[in-house]
Amino acid sequence: MITLKEVTTKKDVKTFVKFPFELYKDSKYWVPPIISQEIKTFNKKINPVFNDAEATLFLAYKDNKVVGRVAAIINWLEVKEQNQKKMRFGWFDVIDDVEVSKVLLDKVIEIGKQNNLEFTEGPVGFSNLDKVGVLTYGFDHIGTMITWYNHPYYASHFEQLGYTVEKQYLENKHAFSDIKTDSFGRIQEIIKKRYNLKALYFSKTKEVMPYADKMFDLFNKSYSSLASFVAITDVQKAYFKKKFLGFINPEYIKFVVDKNDELIAFGIVMPSYAEALQKMNGKLFPFGFKHILHAKKHSKKVTFYLIGVHPEYQNKGIHAIIFNEFYNTFSEKGIVECLRTPELVENTAIQKIWKNFNPVTHKKRCTFRKDIL
Domains 2-170 and 175-364 share a fold: yes
pLDDT tier, 65 (very low <50, low <70, confident <90, very high otherwise)? very high
Per-residue pLDDT at 42 exceeds 90: yes
Q: Please give the average per-residue pLDDT across 168-197, as a whole number.
A: 92
Q: What is the pLDDT of residue 223?
A: 80
CA dist., res. 190 & res. 266, Å (int): 18
Q: What is the pLDDT of residue 229?
A: 75
Q: Please give the average per-residue pLDDT across 10-22, as a whole number.
A: 98
Residue 19, classified by CB atoms within 10 Å of its CB into exposed (0-12), middle (13-18) or buried (19+), is buried
175-364 folds as Aminopeptidase (3.40.630)
Q: Please give the average per-residue pLDDT across 303-327, as a whole number.
A: 92
Contact status, residue 73 vs residue 54, Cβ threshold 8 Å: yes
Q: What single string gives the DSSP state of each residue in 151-215?
A: -THHHHHHHHTT-EEEEEEEEEEEEGGG--GGGTHHHHHHHHHHHT-EEE--SSHHHHHHHHHHH
Per-residue pLDDT at 322 exceeds 90: yes
pLDDT tier, 228 (very low <50, low <70, confident <90, very high otherwise)? low
Give the start-to-end residue ranges of the domains of the chain: 2-170, 175-364
User: 100-121 pLDDT, tens per residue?
Assistant: 999 999 999 999 999 999 999 9
Q: How far is CA 230 from CA 74, 75, 82, 211, 362, in A?
A: 12, 9, 9, 21, 27
Q: What is the pLDDT of residue 246?
A: 79
Would you tell me the crossing angle of helices 234-244 and 205-223 to the nearest 10 degrees? 130
Number of helical H runs and strand E runs in the chain: 12, 14
Give the length of the chain. Answer: 373
- pLDDT: which is higher, 29 or 219: 29
Identify the sign of the CA torsion 62, 63, 66, 67: negative
Report whether CATH 3.40.630.30 matches the domain 2-170.
Answer: yes
Q: What is the pLDDT of residue 227?
A: 64
Per-residue pLDDT at 324 exceeds 80: yes
Per-residue pLDDT at 195 exceeds 90: yes
